[in-house]
Structure 1
Amino acid sequence: MSAARGERGPLGLVSPLRGAALVRNSPADRVPSHGTTLGASTCAIDLVPLDDRGRTAPFTPMSFLLPEPPEHFAGFGLEVLAPADGTVRHVHDGEADHRAHRGLPSVLYALTQRRRLRRGWQGLAGNHVVLEVARGGRAAFVVLCHLQQGSIAVGIGQRVAAGEVLARCGNSGNSMEPHVHVQAMDGRDPGTAAALPLTFPGGVPRAGRRLAGAGEADGR
């Protein structure tokens, strides 16, 4: 069953991940959550999957100095689930999964942001799926970004249920480590749509807190 609510409140979603995720860039802390309104990302949230020790990836001294293969991270290749009942309205695949960046590499990676901006939405979102979901009497659209290249398992026009596998978590687009970027909009095109607030069972966690996986108890 879809978690979507009436059109006056935030769009209710369930987690697109089975397991717990670390929250980053949360609208519970600031709006716009990513420091920009570009691409209708005003109320977006980032979810970084965790391993069974609560880590996004093992951290070694070399993590401060060198980019790392995305396969080192707990989230890479994990299934990404539909966060509500809906219809697939757009898919984009073909963007390569690049190396992850922590420590000093993250600073250097940030300096290349202009290059991704020049590519527009695809350069930022990487591989992504857009779902149309019900929001009261009007439609809303949910975007899930940074998906693994070649992993998208749904097609345009396909109906999906909340919890159904859409793709796998990757590190494509403007991403420093494997994670899922989730945002809601009032239109299908991020270039013209307005952002919509979203929420999860138990509310929207702040950055640094955990979001429970689909079907789990609130893990904040």
Structure 2
Amino acid sequence: MLSTPPVVLRFPFQGRWTAENSPANRVPSHGTYLLGTTFAIDFIAVDERGRSAKHGWRSVLATEPPELFAGFGAPILAPASGTVVAAVDGELDHEARRSQLALIPYALSQARRVREGVRAIAGNHVVIALQPAGPFVLIAHLQRGSVSVAVGSVVMVGENIGSCGNSGNSTQPHVHVQVTDSTAWPTARGGPIVFERPQVNGGNWLPRNGEAFTAA
């Protein structure tokens, strides 16, 4: 898939968001080719001041309830039309970790999550097959109990599929999007993606790290 044209997706949310770990800045975007994440991108909802959540003593010294974050519970929409081939719910939403102190034990447990497989990494997630043989779009880190589609469901672009959560390999509520050539995750290869640009400018677009934008 590395030589194929980018898959054009629609942003899977509305409102104000910021891009992180964008392949517009580097490839592989998450520092690894593992689990087809080569061209994956993350999105964090922010308020009018560009904050994912207000800062306080917990953001400096401890963990934080995910409910404090702008994105937690935000509706997540299908970024493309297709057939649902995986729908996982029931994984816990973790406490958020913006504190460097709280991130230390989390970093030390990263290898264990990788060994445990896709549920430990993606948390609650949905995979949409754009065609029977792919490509496949993964939308990850959804809120527990929010997944509203099932395997075999045919979804249309813009249809609600769940809510933003903090499940899986996630340090604060956000949405992870990637495209792969397979759902055999140990050998899946990631493919490039672009998004329909907000109507004010038209065309397709891939936001860079830290770039904030409003999705209609």
Aligned equivalent of 2:160: 165
Letter in 1 for 2:207: P
Report the AA paired with residue 108 of structure 1.
P
Provide the C-alpha distance between the structure 1 equivalents of 2:150 and 2:118, rounded to a whole number of angstroms.
20
Tell me the SS of whatever aligns to 1:212: strand
Alignment of 1:61-140 (within 5 A): 61-104=57-100, 105-134=102-131, 139-140=134-135
Match of 2:200?
none
Which deviates more, 26-35 or 106-115? 106-115
Report deviation, 1:55: 1.5
Equivalent position amino acid for 2:13 in 1:
L
Q: How many residues of Structure 1 are paired with residues of Structure 2 in the alignment?
A: 206
Alpha-carbon shift at residue 25 of structure 1 (Å): 0.3
**What residue number does 1:45 align with?**
41
Q: Deviations over 1:146-189 (max 9, x none)?
A: 11111100011111111100001100010000000000011122
TM-score normalised by L of structure 1: 0.89
Aligned Cα root-mean-square deviation (Å):
1.6
Instruction: Report the counterpart of residue 206 of structure 1 in structure 2.
Output: 208
The structural deviation recorded for 1:211 is 4.0
Given that 2:66 and 2:93 are in contact with CA atoms closer than 8 Å, whether structure 1 keeps it comes out as yes
| Structure 1 residue 91 displacement after superposition | 0.9
1:141 to 136, 140, 149: 136
Establish whether residue 15 from structure 1 lines up as the match of residue 11 from structure 2.
yes
Note if contact 2:58-2:99 (Cα within 8 Å) is conserved in structure 1: no
| Stretch of structure 1 that moved more, 137-146 or 12-21 | 137-146
Which amino acid is 1:50 matched to?
V
The whole-number CA distance in structure 1 between the counterparts of 2:83 and 2:46 is 29
Return the letter of the residue paired with 1:74.
Answer: A
Deviation at 1:141, TM superposition (A): 0.3
User: TM-score, structure 2 length as denominator?
Assistant: 0.90
Deviations 1:22-48 (A, max 9, x none): 111000010000001110000000001
Structure 1: tracts of 5 or more residues without a match: 1-6
Aligned partners of 1:211 and 1:112: how far apart in 2?
33
Following superposition, the deviation at residue 65 of structure 1 comes to 0.3
Tell me whether 1:54 sits opposite 2:50 in the alignment: yes
Instruction: Specify every segment of 5 or more residues in structure 2 that has no aligned partner in the other structure, as ranges.
Output: 198-204
Structure 2 residue 185 is matched with structure 1 residue 190:
yes
Aligned-partner SS, 2:15: coil
The one-letter code of the counterpart of 2:108 is L
Amino acid at match of 1:126: G
Q: Larger deviation: 186-195 or 156-165?
A: 186-195
Q: Distance in 1 between matches of 2:156 and 2:14?
A: 15
- The answer (yes or no) to whether the contact 1:45–1:182 under 8 Å persists in 2 is yes
- Over 2 Å off, 4+ runs: 51-54, 188-192
- Same amino acid, percent of matched pairs: 47
Name the CA distance, whole Å, in 2 between partners of 1:62 and 1:128: 28
